[in-house]
Amino acid sequence: MNSFLAPLVAAALLAAAITPVQSADASTQSIVKKEVDCMRSYAADPANNFTNYAPAIGAPEVTDAIHSGLQPCATFAGGAKIRSNKFQVAQYLSPTVYPGQIQLIIQGGPSAAFLVGGSPGLPVPSYTAGPYVARFNPATGAQIWRTYLPIAPGQWIAAPSGAVVKGGWVDVVIGPTIYKLNPKTGKIAASVEQPVLDGDAIDANFDGFAISPDSTGTILLKSQNRSTGCTVQGNQAMSACIAQYGPQPVTTVVAIDPVTLENITAIKLSQPIAARPTLLAKNGNTEMYLAGATRGVRVIWDPKTKTLREDTGWQPPYLLTGQTTGDAPVPLGKWVIFNNNASPPVKAPGVPICAVAVKMTNAADVHRICPWGKTIPAGLTSNAPASFSTDPQKSLIFMQDMLMGGVFAVRLDQSTGRMAIKWSRPDWRTSDYFTAVGPSNNRVLSSQYLSSDFPSQVQTGSWTESVLWVDESTGKTLAQSAVNGPTDLGWMAQPAYAGRWYTMTLRGTIIVYEPQKCSTTVSRPVSPLSITKCPPITPGVTG
């Protein structure tokens, strides 16, 4: 058994989750090699928006510049045909418990897995040690090294951002400071505080790590801000302090040298913006798309003149009366897709989430689909902490509402901007992004599956959830894990190498999942038992 597979099998046996099967060693090596070769080819095509990111499988927030969620090189259940097989899901816990919870998992390849911890969007009262980056064994979740990131006393700590960039460096942003870490040792190679043009640096958090597809790989960040004088920690500080301390400062956008991390330039936007940015190469420039308080926002980075500017000629309205600011917009072909919320409650009757398609070349060309209708039932509200995900190869949009419940797959007509529902799953409730994995003709869509009583349990953190994998074309269930305790809302079940998936529990552990094809000769029961399960092995047949 080679060194790559040994820790995987050892950890699985320890957790009583997986029984090894014959030829797993060779098949795993073959799968990983195909994934690595595929990612190198996929990332090399500028159309796939991986330029200047490490060519690695990962989650929507930390890979491609548009955060689509599409990972065609990732493998599901060994590459099994999804329409002719049944599946079960093995799972096991990391042996390391990471203090202050885990906020991000980012990957630089099959043996390079990292996480950011200690910087939760919702503070953990018992944890005060501060943010850190750790490298872990991608097969087991066990820690290899951990590096704490120095921050100023009293610094506002909100959800972090980061990525593994081209060349393998680990870049992470906490507050106003960006850090570059050596992936082998964890040593901090550089750290630079970025300028904040409105408000104080101690009240700013540069979120939404984004890398420009320009020739140098300029890093583009935008700030979140809490009101001056506020001492509340976590993401809720953006809204919780306005009544006492006044409006938030407006957002700063910065361009950063990817090698030295020194600031190149910075501009102040016309408003505060909470959600993260997405980027797209356009006419030699880089366009940053953001969800403003009432209208869409576009910022232009010109790598030749090294300037940033807010594009005042493109400000599409994307909210209906009764809706509130949306999450990060997602470019999709010729269009930008916005979502929206109705939480916190608004003065007018709330309106559920819609998908809003705006043409990149004409801000007046706006189309909307509202599959939850125009009225929120009494006692409910509408919210999606994660933005919509897309399959750019098929012009598909995946919509979710964690409080109303339900998931919709929507097809966008690139010629007209009109949208139509392809399939729906009223039973599926998720707060997370979606990830689509595998080749176009065998593609699987996945996200968390929250318990039906989630809305009544969200305040106590007592809900349960599983991970669901469906046929992207039909929404039909393929595999579903065992039911587990809660994970961080708004993050994601994310793909890794060799068919593994990760979630991050509120206890500070990683759950590693392995969807498996059922077979009369090699399948074995898993523990805990997944919701989809393989039939008993035929007596007398051995694997």
Residue 10 has pLDDT above 80, yes or no: no
Residue 488 has pLDDT above 90, yes or no: no
* Domain-located, residue 539: no
pLDDT in tens, 517-534: 998 766 677 899 999 999
Residue 23 has pLDDT above 90, yes or no: no
The amino acid occupying position 326 is G
Using alpha carbons, list the distances in angstroms from residue 229 to 153, 242, 252: 14, 10, 18
Q: How many domains does the chain have?
A: 1
pLDDT in tens, 404-413: 999 999 999 9
Under the banding of pLDDT at 50, 70 and 90, the label for residue 233 is very high
pLDDT in tens, 393-440: 999 999 999 999 999 999 999 999 999 999 999 999 999 999 999 999
**What local confidence, expressed as pLDDT, does residue 7 receive?**
32
Residue 278 has pLDDT above 70, yes or no: yes
**What local confidence, expressed as pLDDT, does residue 346 receive?**
62
| Higher pLDDT pick, 475 / 14 | 475
* Domain-located, residue 523: no
What is the spatial distance between Cα 427 and Cα 447, in angstroms, rounded to a whole number?
A: 13
**What local confidence, expressed as pLDDT, does residue 1 receive?**
30
Nearest in space to 231 (alpha carbons), one of 198, 196, 203: 203
Edge to edge, the sheet with strand 219-225 lists 204-211, 219-225, 252-256, 263-268
* Domain-located, residue 522: no
**CATH classification of the domain holding 395:** 2.130.10.10
**What local confidence, expressed as pLDDT, does residue 413 receive?**
98
**What local confidence, expressed as pLDDT, does residue 378 receive?**
83
What is the spatial distance between Cα 234 and Cα 157, in angstroms, rounded to a whole number?
A: 6
**What local confidence, expressed as pLDDT, does residue 17 receive?**
31
**What local confidence, expressed as pLDDT, does residue 4 receive?**
27
**What local confidence, expressed as pLDDT, does residue 525 receive?**
78
* Domain-located, residue 531: no
Say which DSSP state 388 is in. Answer: -
* Domain-located, residue 528: no
**What local confidence, expressed as pLDDT, does residue 347 receive?**
63
* pLDDT average, residue stretch 228-257: 95
Residue-range definition of the domain harbouring residue 110: 5-517
Its pTM stands at: 0.92
**What local confidence, expressed as pLDDT, does residue 400 receive?**
97
**What local confidence, expressed as pLDDT, does residue 491 receive?**
78
Direct distance between the N- and C-terminal alpha carbons of the chain, in angstroms, rounded to an integer? 17
Residue 21 has pLDDT above 70, yes or no: no
**What local confidence, expressed as pLDDT, does residue 337 receive?**
98
Residue 12 has pLDDT above 70, yes or no: no
Over the chain, what is the mean pLDDT? 92
Whole-number percent of the chain with pLDDT over 90: 85
Please check whether residue 356 is in contact with residue 406, taking contact to mean a CB–CB distance below 8 angstroms.
no
Segment among 120-124, 187-191, 493-497, 501-505 with least mean pLDDT: 120-124
Element (H, E) at 439: none
Residues 6+ apart with CB under 8 A from 192: 177, 178, 256, 260, 261, 262, 263
* Domain-located, residue 540: no
